[in-house]
């Protein structure tokens, strides 16, 4: 019976270059094939589209958040701005990984994509702790009343844009940590937009201004739940690659 060797076996035996698998990669499962760049081109188009959608609306939402005195709206705008950074990092990492394929650097620049996924997760955690800190501070101090109408209209538009982006990214995020990191950012944005809508309705209908801070804390919790598995999986795969190279 023919024995199939994995890339990990090749690494352990020091014969990675003699591996018959032309598209194997320990870190990502499969590398984009030089002869068929369609998958990588699709990935780049997705990241560019996500960058355009989030970048185009984050500034508008930031201005509306400060105008309406809404922490949840400012939080959502900040999250979208962090999405722009994360998507840009993912786009750059994808380009580096493709360059590595053309240069036959099996376990070199491909790590850039995993590092981008790791950075996405860490970025979510940092933003979540900042949101929680701001919400707790607002509980303990007075602040201007929230303009719920502006808050509500802006959040509805943001929810529509984020829902569109989620539907585009979802089917492509199952087998790629880099795209999964971008997808989780946008998914958390979608949840936060829904939270902003809920807070705006409560403030408008019942004058519950504290809903702004409560929803902000809920959004922060959602960010943490999405970020921790991504960070753990990225670190695990990077650690496997480091062990295999010893």
Neighbours of 77 (CB within 10 A): 26
Span 43-49, average pLDDT: 86
Q: Where do the domains of the chain lie, and which CATH numbers do they carry?
A: 37-237 (1.20.1510.10)
Span 111-128, average pLDDT: 79
Short-list 81, 68, 84, CA closest to 203: 68
pLDDT attached to residue 13? 44
Mean pLDDT of the chain: 76
Short-list 87, 97, 215, CA closest to 151: 215
pLDDT at 138 over 60: yes
Q: Model confidence over 196-225: pLDDT tens digits?
A: 999 999 999 999 989 999 988 887 887 788
pLDDT attached to residue 153? 95
Short-list 9, 197, 27, CA closest to 96: 27
Top pLDDT among 164 and 35 is at 164
**Largest pairwise CA distance in the chain:** 75
Region of poorest pLDDT, from 3-17, 72-86, 93-107, 200-214: 3-17
* CA distances, 124 to each of 31, 73, 89, 168, 184 (Å): 27, 16, 14, 21, 9
Helix (H) or strand (E) run with residue 67 in it? helix 38-68
Strands 29-30 and 24-25: antiparallel
pLDDT attached to residue 33? 42
Band of pLDDT at residue 99, cut at 50, 70 and 90: low
Q: Model confidence over 23-41: pLDDT tens digits?
A: 444 333 443 344 346 777 8
């Amino acid at each position: 019976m023919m024995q199939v060797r994995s890339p990990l076996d090749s690494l352990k035996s020091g014969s990675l270059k003699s591996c018959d698998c032309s598209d194997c990669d320990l870190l990502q499962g499969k590398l984009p094939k030089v002869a068929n760049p369609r998958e990588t081109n699709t990935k780049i188009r997705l990241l560019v589209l996500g960058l355009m959608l989030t970048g185009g609306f984050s500034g508008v939402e930031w201005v509306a958040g400060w105008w309406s005195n809404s922490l949840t709206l400012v939080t959502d705008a900040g999250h979208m701005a962090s999405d722009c950074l994360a998507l840009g990092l993912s786009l750059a990492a994808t380009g580096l990984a493709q360059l590595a394929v053309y240069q036959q650097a099996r376990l070199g620049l491909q790590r850039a994509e995993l590092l981008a996924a790791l950075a996405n997760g860490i970025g979510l955690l940092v933003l979540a702790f900042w949101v929680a800190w701001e919400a707790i501070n607002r509980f303990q101090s007075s602040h201007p009343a929230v303009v719920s109408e502006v808050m509500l209209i802006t959040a509805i538009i943001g929810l529509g844009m984020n829902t569109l982006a989620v539907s585009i990214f979802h089917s492509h995020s199952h087998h790629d940590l880099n795209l999964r990191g971008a997808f989780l950012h946008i998914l958390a944005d979608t949840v936060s937009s829904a939270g902003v809508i809920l807070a705006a309705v409560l403030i408008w209908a019942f004058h519950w201004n504290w809903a702004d801070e409560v929803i902000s804390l809920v959004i922060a919790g959602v960010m943490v739940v999405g970020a921790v598995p991504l960070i753990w999986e990225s670190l695990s795969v990077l650690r496997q690659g480091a062990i295999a190279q010893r």
